[in-house]
């Protein structure tokens, strides 16, 4: 059962018309401005454990949301019913709400002159088999292979497969109405290994727009087994200050804190450790971060943001210097600046590197900690204080020696970002921030 592209295109066209109708009706009611959006996703999720089927779930999610402005008063409503009657009722509710809300001098649509005028095909939609039979075959094959690879794998937390296809449509009273199709497929496996009386758990996963870009079930299984058994016989280490490597699959979280720190909401509330840092050096001078929103097939690519603003290639950080904040139209007005097309989030960041791979990065570090898992939420975006539980591997003379657990790593985000020593080329493309493993000069390790 593969979703039909012609049917998807037809539905996309129908929803674009529904969005246009909602905006036109809002205008007839005398509102000063209106915007309308709808995202819909349909597909399948399955989960298996120890060869048994645990869940098979078909789902279809999505609702049309309408926001109207009466001067600086704002009202919103939504509906899952796309009949003309239901859409008109939703518009009327939004209009009624707007009459009674307080005025907000910063409310309103994004500037008309910044709307996207071209909607490039970014190769974001590749429908695939969404039958229960195919999905279960993928999950069962992955888990079965994993359980056969190593006798130390004694149990499973299960395997899962998902496949979804859908679209996003946005329109506003500037005359902008546009949409695009998108898909996402994934496969995962979580395992438990045992050595003596001690057990460890780990997992692996793959995700892509195109099913053919996923790892095979055997590849996911083998990676999950290797990750899990490598954690066996973990030790505790003494409290110290040492260099730390964030492996690529956790390094994206470091840049995720950067995203939070330069986002408009945090900035206008003065709740960011990077307030007033525009144009200042926050990373080493050799480090550049570029946004590539039109990178074909990427998981975070988008032709326009959630306000219809055009997305563009841009330097976020150039030679270590912060080039831009991440602003919606609301936060831009709050800060007296222009919006940057980041309503809804970032659009595929690429972080440059100069070390070939993780092994070379370990050689460069010499002795220190390689972090492969982070736990807890001990990050304060207001002042940058950072403290999280961690697990990983102890490295000496550039070589991994043994796994470590039950430790806490601590520092301050401003110092951590400024003191990045090197980044490897083992880029993890499963995230919106495409970065390799990151070596930090020093962090505090709380152990025994």
Spatial distance between the Cα atoms of 441 and 419, rounded to a whole number of angstroms: 6
The DSSP symbol for 379 reads: B
Spatial distance between the Cα atoms of 156 and 225, rounded to a whole number of angstroms: 10
Between helix 5-28 and helix 84-100 the angle, nearest 10°, is 40
Spatial distance between the Cα atoms of 20 and 25, rounded to a whole number of angstroms: 9
| Per-residue pLDDT reduced to its tens digit, 262-276 | 999 999 999 999 999
Query: What are the φ and ψ backbone dihedral angles of 351, each rounded to 5 degrees?
Result: -105, 125
pLDDT at 311 over 80: yes
| Measured CA distances, 141 to 75, 144, 150, 217, 428 (Å) | 50, 5, 16, 6, 24
Q: Residues, the chain, total? A: 448
pLDDT at 140 over 80: yes
Q: What is the mean pLDDT of residues 356-371?
A: 97
pLDDT for position 2: 87
Q: Tokens 């070589």 appear where?
A: 399
Sorted by where each begins, the domain ranges of the chain are 5-229, 234-448
Name the band, by pLDDT with cuts 50, 70 and 90, for residue 4. confident
pLDDT for position 308: 97
| Per-residue pLDDT reduced to its tens digit, 29-68 | 999 999 999 999 999 999 999 999 999 999 998 899 999 9
What value does the CA radius of gyration of the chain take, rounded to a whole number of Å?
24
Q: What is the mean pLDDT of residues 420-436?
A: 96
Kindly state the tokens that stand for 256. Answer: 């995720």
Spatial distance between the Cα atoms of 198 and 209, rounded to a whole number of angstroms: 38
pLDDT > 90 in the chain, percent: 97
6 φ/ψ sector (left φ>0, alpha ψ -120 to 50, else beta): alpha
Name the band, by pLDDT with cuts 50, 70 and 90, for residue 350. very high
Spatial distance between the Cα atoms of 201 and 19, rounded to a whole number of angstroms: 47
Q: Do 183 and 149 contact (CB within 8 A), yes or no?
A: no
Edge-to-edge strand order for the sheet containing 349-351?
Answer: 321-322, 314-318, 289-291, 349-351, 433-434
pLDDT for position 1: 78
Helices (H) and strands (E) in the chain, counts: 9, 17
Spatial distance between the Cα atoms of 243 and 240, rounded to a whole number of angstroms: 10
Give the right CATH number for 5-229 from 3.40.50.970, 3.10.20.600, 3.20.20.70, 3.30.2290.10. Answer: 3.30.2290.10
Q: Do 174 and 109 contact (CB within 8 A), yes or no?
A: yes
Using DSSP, state whether 404 is helix, strand or coil.
strand
| Per-residue pLDDT reduced to its tens digit, 247-257 | 999 999 999 99
pLDDT > 70 in the chain, percent: 100
pLDDT at 447 over 90: no
pLDDT for position 163: 97
| Per-residue pLDDT reduced to its tens digit, 183-219 | 999 999 999 999 998 999 999 999 999 999 999 999 9
Q: How many CB atoms are located within 10 Å of the residue 414 CB?
A: 17
pLDDT at 448 over 80: no
Q: How many CB atoms are located within 10 Å of the residue 41 CB?
A: 16
Mean pLDDT estimate for the chain: 96
Angle among Cα 249, 252, 253 to the nearest 5 degrees reads 105
């Amino acid at each position: 059962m593969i979703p039909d592209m012609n049917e998807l295109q037809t539905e996309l066209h129908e929803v674009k018309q529904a969005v246009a109708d909602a905006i036109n009706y809002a205008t007839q009611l005398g509102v000063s401005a209106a915007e309308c959006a709808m995202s819909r996703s349909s597909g399948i999720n399955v989960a298996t454990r120890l060869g048994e089927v645990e869940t098979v779930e078909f789902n279809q999610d999505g609702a049309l949301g309408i926001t109207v402005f009466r001067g600086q008063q704002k009202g919103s409503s939504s509906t899952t019913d796309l009949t003309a009657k239901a859409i008109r009722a939703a518009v009327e509710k939004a209009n009624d709400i707007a009459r009674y809300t307080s005025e907000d001098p910063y409310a309103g649509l994004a500037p008309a002159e910044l709307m996207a005028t071209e909607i490039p095909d970014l190769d974001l939609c590749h429908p695939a088999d969404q039958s229960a039979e195919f999905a279960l075959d993928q999950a069962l094959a992955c888990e079965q292979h994993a359980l056969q690879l190593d006798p130390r794998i004694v149990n499973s937390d299960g395997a899962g497969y998902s496949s979804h296809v859908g679209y996003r449509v946005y329109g506003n009273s500037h005359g902008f109405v546009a949409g695009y199709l998108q898909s996402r497929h994934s496969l995962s496996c979580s395992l438990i290994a045992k050595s003596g009386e001690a057990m460890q758990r780990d997992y692996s996963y793959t995700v892509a727009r195109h099913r053919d870009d996923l790892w095979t079930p055997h590849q996911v299984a083998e990676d999950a087994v290797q990750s899990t058994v490598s954690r066996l016989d973990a030790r505790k280490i003494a409290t110290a200050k040492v260099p730390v490597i964030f492996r690529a699959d956790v390094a994206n979280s470091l840049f995720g804190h950067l995203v939070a720190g330069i986002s408009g909401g945090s900035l206008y509330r003065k709740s960011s450790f990077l307030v007033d840092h525009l144009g200042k050096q926050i990373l080493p001078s050799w480090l550049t971060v570029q946004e590539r929103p039109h990178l074909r097939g990427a998981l975070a690519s988008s032709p326009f943001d959630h306000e219809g603003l055009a997305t563009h290639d841009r330097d976020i950080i150039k030679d270590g210097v912060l080039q831009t904040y991440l602003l919606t139209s609301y936060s831009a007005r709050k800060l007296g600046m222009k919006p940057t097309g980041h309503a809804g989030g970032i659009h595929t960041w690429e972080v440059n590197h100069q070390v070939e791979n993780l092994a070379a990065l370990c050689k460069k570090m010499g002795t220190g900690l390689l972090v492969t898992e982070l736990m807890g939420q001990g990050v304060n975006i207001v002042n940058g204080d950072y403290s999280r539980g961690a697990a990983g591997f102890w490295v000496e003379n550039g070589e991994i020696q043994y796994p470590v657990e039950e430790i806490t790593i601590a520092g301050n985000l401003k110092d951590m970002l400024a003191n990045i020593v090197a980044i490897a080329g083992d880029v993890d493309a499963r995230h919106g921030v495409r970065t390799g493993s990151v070596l930090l000069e020093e962090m505090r390790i709380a152990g025994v």
